[in-house]
Amino acid sequence: QVQLQESGPGLVKPSQTLSLTCNVSGDSINSGGYYWSWIRQPAGRGLEWIGRISTSGSAIYNPSLKTRVTISLDTSKNQFSLKLTSVTAADTAVYYCARFVVVAAASRYFDSWGQGTKVAVSA
Amino acid sequence: DIVMTQSPLSLPVTPGEPASISCRSSQSLLHGHGYNYLDWYLQKPGQPPQLLIYLGSYRASGVPDRFSGSGSGTDFTLKISKVEAEDVGVYYCMQALQTPLTFGGGTRVEIK
């Protein structure tokens, strides 16, 4: 059974870059049929999709964050990463990594999530 | 972006009684393959969301059969036939038709 675990600093200063890593265990990140994704959730609020990367390394981002976000894949370490530049207090949230299933037309859903990591943006 | 609207925002329920949550999308989620790309997730307190229903009406593995999803196009419903105490949390619908993937605002289910 695949497991995902986020890691990274819990506190980032305004205008700096937020960097998180998602370690994947129990399955190869190279397995076809999946998109590796980041989602965030401000405290007490709903879910916002940040973006995703395919096993080929092709990434798609939420247009609301597109100019500031980069998702990358490290197949040698079986992990993928998120970088969000020029952060402000509005980027304070719990950040989740998740696996999105796209094996066939009859599958488009998140089947596995990390536990989430809290990131606060504050001086 | 596709806007997802859920109702109600909050749903107090009595154990053993049914519950229903509505989700509407700003455009049809019916794909040419014939599938509705609409998922339902439950986020229990302190946990990440977990998949309940995908493609509008397909129960995910391990999900109790008291949960069912229905609807097509722009109108969808999640029903719990008999609510149990473990069903408390926030329920989200999500459209998986196109990027950016978008979620409804959530419906908080609590026990009366």
Answer whether B39 sits within 8 Å of A110, measured CB to CB. Answer: yes
What's the pLDDT at A13?
98
pLDDT of amino acid A106: 82
Region A91-114: what's the mean pLDDT? 94
| Alpha-carbon gap, residue A42 to A107, rounded angstroms | 28
**Residue B14 pLDDT:** 96
pLDDT of residue B33: 86
Q: How many CA atoms lie within 13 A of A102 on its CB side?
A: 15
How far is the C-alpha of B55 from the C-alpha of A18, rounded, in Å? Answer: 34
Apex B50 CA angle, B69 and B97, nearest 5? 60
Which of A46, A111, A115 is closest, CB to CB, to B105? Answer: A46
Does B60 touch chain A if contact means CB atoms closer than 8 Å?
Answer: yes
pLDDT-derived band of residue A14, with 50, 70 and 90 as boundaries?
A: very high
Residue in this structure with the two tokens 């998949």, named with its chain if needed: B51
Contact B105, B93 (CB under 8 A): no
> Residues A44-86: pLDDT tens digits?
999 999 999 999 999 999 999 989 999 999 999 999 999 999 9
Residue among B61, B66, B68 nearest B84 (CA): B66
Residue A118: beta bridge partners? A94
| Residue A47 and residue A39 in contact, taking contact as beta carbons nearer than 8 Å | yes
B 61-90 residues inside an 8 A Cβ radius of A:
none
B43-96 pLDDT, tens digit per residue, is 999 999 999 999 999 999 999 999 999 999 999 999 999 999 999 999 999 999
Residue-wise pLDDT for B3-50, tens only, equals: 999 999 999 999 999 999 999 999 999 998 899 999 999 999 999 999
The average pLDDT across A1-11 equals 97
Whole-number Cα distances in Å, B69 to A20, B77, B79? 34, 6, 6
Is B41 part of the contact surface with chain A (CB cutoff 8 Å)?
Answer: yes
What residues contact residue B86 under an 8 Å CB cut-off, 6+ apart?
A: none
> Can you read off the two tokens belonging to residue B8?
């109600």
Mark B3-40 as b/e (b = at least 16 C-beta within 10 Å): ebebeeeebebeeeeebebbbbbeeebbeeeebbbbbb
pLDDT of A104 > 90? The answer is no
